[in-house]
Amino acid sequence: NVVTISMTEHMNFWAVYHHYIDNVNYSLFSNINMVKQMNTFNKKTNVGGVNIETNKSYLSNKNLYFGNTKFDNIPDTEFIINKFNLNKNDKYCLFLYPKMRNNFSVENILNIYSHLKKLGFKIIVKSRPKDHKIEEILQGDIFIKSDTYPNESLQLMKISDLCIISSSSANEETVFSKIPCIDLISDLRPWERNQYLLDEKTYVRIENKDWKDIKFENFKKIYQKLEKKNSLYFDEIKTKYLFTHNNTSKKIFDFLKEKHPEYFKNII
């Protein structure tokens, strides 16, 4: 007498979906595009040393597309500014430091930092406790190494005007946060996550060979083509590919209450 739900964070369902889907009642995803992309890859894709049979369908009537609870309860701007001891008058770029670090040098990253500085940004470098140590010279103006709830990357996106990622599925988070994003490719494996979000106005990728020594004028041109934070165009992309509500937890709760009222009869 148990209802079992699999709740995915990002793309971490790839290798295990076909092992668990027959044994759960529901599998929760932020949007259907995340699942549909699975069948656009090669028949065998190696992710983290695991061969994934993408010829098997990831579409199931057990899949629910309600959003993601990590997007819930993001505090207001004033709270975030005070929490991280920021200056509300500064213009911030959030730099989510790369996990894959074999394909670039310290000088390559510092080159990007110098371009951001010329564009008037203060740089917030965000890392997680499980990530490798980042040299002090690469820690930007503000360095944050933590991973608590509510989601801190989303908090920092809320108060920043630009986000830099590197071969990360955080591009979904940038669209939700309506912040322009530049992706510096560092993962050279022959697969890319969330290709459907590519858009020269909201989310652009710069290949590894192109960004490592990129000149300021070229970087500036890429930046200037991007939409400004919170523009109406982001609303279109967000509606098309993600979702527009701010409370996934409530949607899950309401769904379960409707489909399985027997579990709620003693709840006021």
Quick one: tokens of 195? 């290709």
Per-residue model confidence as pLDDT tens digits over 245-266: 889 999 999 999 999 998 888 7
Closest CA to 192 of 206, 179, 212, 173: 206
What is the bridge-based pairing of β-strands 44-47 and 50-53? Answer: antiparallel
* CA atoms of 51 and 216, how far apart (whole Å): 40
Residue 147 pLDDT: 81
Query: Which has the higher per-residue pLDDT, 8 or 64?
Result: 64
Span 37-45, average pLDDT? 66
Q: Using an 8 Å Cβ cutoff, are 159 and 142 in contact?
A: no
Lowest mean per-residue pLDDT among 56-65, 97-106, 198-207: 97-106
Rg (alpha carbons) of the chain, rounded to whole number: 20
Per-residue model confidence as pLDDT tens digits over 114-150: 999 999 999 999 998 888 889 999 999 999 998 888 9
Single pTM value for the model: 0.91
The size of the chain, in residues, is: 268
Closest CA to 12 of 66, 94, 68: 68
CA 58 to chain centre: 21
